[in-house]
A and B are shown apart, each in its own frame.
Chain A
Amino acid sequence: DTEVTQTPKHLVMGMTNKKSLKCEQHMGHRAMYWYKQKAKKPPELMFVYSYEKLSINESVPSRFSPECPNSSLLNLHLHALQPEDSALYLCASSHPRAYEQYFGPGTRLTVT
């Protein structure tokens, strides 16, 4: 399996909802990433996990809470989001000391 999968593909949530995004890979990669991509903009790094430990947090608001329960899974828990958080959320993975990142198809999030 050489792909990163993300679920759900689309998510619509209200500002008071709690939801989670899920990312999975079975390539044996020990680094996993969350990016946010607004329309017609490049991906922006949010979080990096290395060997299941959070190694980079790019000053992301606490309403986004990442979790890496094991080496294959990465979650992003969402709570009390704002409409401006609507975006495509991308997950990626890589070997910790390799430079090539493999991206998932993304979850398109709409906050109403």
Chain B
Amino acid sequence: AQRVTQPEKLLSVFKGAPVELKCNYSYSGSPELFWYVQYSRQRLQLLLRHISRESIKGFTADLNKGETSFHLKKPFAQEEDSAMYYCALNGQGAQKLVFGQGTRLTINP
């Protein structure tokens, strides 16, 4: 079975501080993992996917198969990073995304 766990419902950090949003997954095969972000009153949008290994808006995420984790990191948080973040897994071809419960990130000034 596919499962994504985001242990923190809420995360609050100060502007300029490092931020890490945790994501652990359960899947027996080789998963495709993503981070989606939903800013206030905006649509859900893709932030990162592990296969591209890129940095978007200063965020990075590394797939650790040994720890079955895909944590999202940013060294210096900005106020505009405040949003809901969802980790998602696709383990059955390209058609079935399973989302974690989400972490609401708040960046305090």
Contacts and interface: CB of A to CB of B under 8 A. Distances in A.
Interface of B: 32, 34, 42-46, 49, 51, 86, 90, 93-102
A31 B95 contact: yes
B101 A31 contact: no
A44 B4 CA distance: 13
B101 A42 contact: yes
Contacts of B44: 43, 90, 103
Contacts, number: 52
A90 to B, nearest CB: 7
Contact of A96 (B32, B95, B99): B95
Residue from the set B95, B99, B101 with the largest chain A CB neighbour count within 10 Å? B95
Contacts of B95: 31, 33, 48, 50, 55-56, 96
B43 A103 contact: yes
B94 A31 contact: yes
Given A50-B95, A90-B44, 10 more contacts: A31-B95, A42-B86, A44-B99, A45-B97, A48-B95, A56-B95, A99-B51, A99-B90, A99-B94, A103-B44
Interface string A80-112: 000000000010001111111111111000000
A86 to B, nearest CB: 19
Contacts of B49: 99-100
A45 to B, nearest CB: 6
Nearest to B51: A99
25 contacts: A33-B95, A42-B86, A42-B99, A42-B100, A42-B102, A43-B86, A43-B97, A43-B99, A44-B99, A45-B97, A45-B98, A48-B95, A48-B96, A50-B95, A56-B95, A56-B96, A94-B94, A97-B94, A99-B49, A99-B94, A100-B34, A101-B46, A101-B97, A103-B44, A105-B43
